[in-house]
Structure 1
Amino acid sequence: MRIVLCTALYGVVLTQAMCPSGCKCTTDDRHLVRCDDAPLGDIPSLLDPRTKTLSMSNCTLNHLDPDVLELYPDLEFLDLSHNELERLDVGIFQYQTKLRVLRLHENNLSHVQRGSLAGLTQLQVTLPIAFIWI
């Protein structure tokens, strides 16, 4: 009985530790993380690797770290809108093969490199096209 209780408590503590301040994380099978309006500056690297939905709207992001994105291969929905992103590099989403929705509107995107969205066959992107060089 003690082992089961300790394991359950460890799971709760671990889940809470993986949810940054200013974010809301679900512990159910939806694997949802909402960090909207949290001034994080970067995508957190200690989220549940099974995260399917990650919303980071208005988080002062100015770049995307491919090493951090690699940690979340199950992403289906990624909201990066209302940030300060200026470019999308080649292969930045190469590990997000399940990604269906990518929100990029209201950023400072000026360069989307050819191949930055390669392999994302189910993707729907919301992104204003004006002033982007490919």
Structure 2
Amino acid sequence: MKWFDERAAFRTWYVIAMIDFLAAATIGVLLRSMYLVELPFIQFRPWLHGHAHTALLGWLFIGTAVILIHDGGQGRLSRRTSALLWIIQMAVLVMAISFPMQGYGALSIGASLIHVLCSCALLAMVWKASAGWPVSGSRALLRTAI
């Protein structure tokens, strides 16, 4: 018996990606409302950086990576892959909180660095997993994108 339900694990990661999308959308609505209502306690640029990093590195990257790893139900979510995804998600959470608080400070840059390093490891796993894909089609496109 498997140590966890793999379908439920993939579903969980899809939900996490959508929560990241919801967080980014909420920050986006807050930033747009600054043109209608005065919000003196919010500095636009740091919140904009938090919004962009949450949207691109949280929702878009995690969602795309999970779809590629899932591979139409053929892919496997190993312990290592799951651990990398959790570290990446925690880095996104730290960026979403630290960018509005300090802008490009030590904490947000450190979280970005952790995200980049873990993303490289995750993309190497996706590269290896795509070995069985059609050479002239999807594998070529994926590897060009990576």
TM-score of the two chains, using structure 1 as the length reference? 0.29
Bigger-Rg structure (1/2): 2
Between structures 1 and 2, the one with greater strand share: 1
Higher relative contact order (CA 8 A, sep 6+): 2
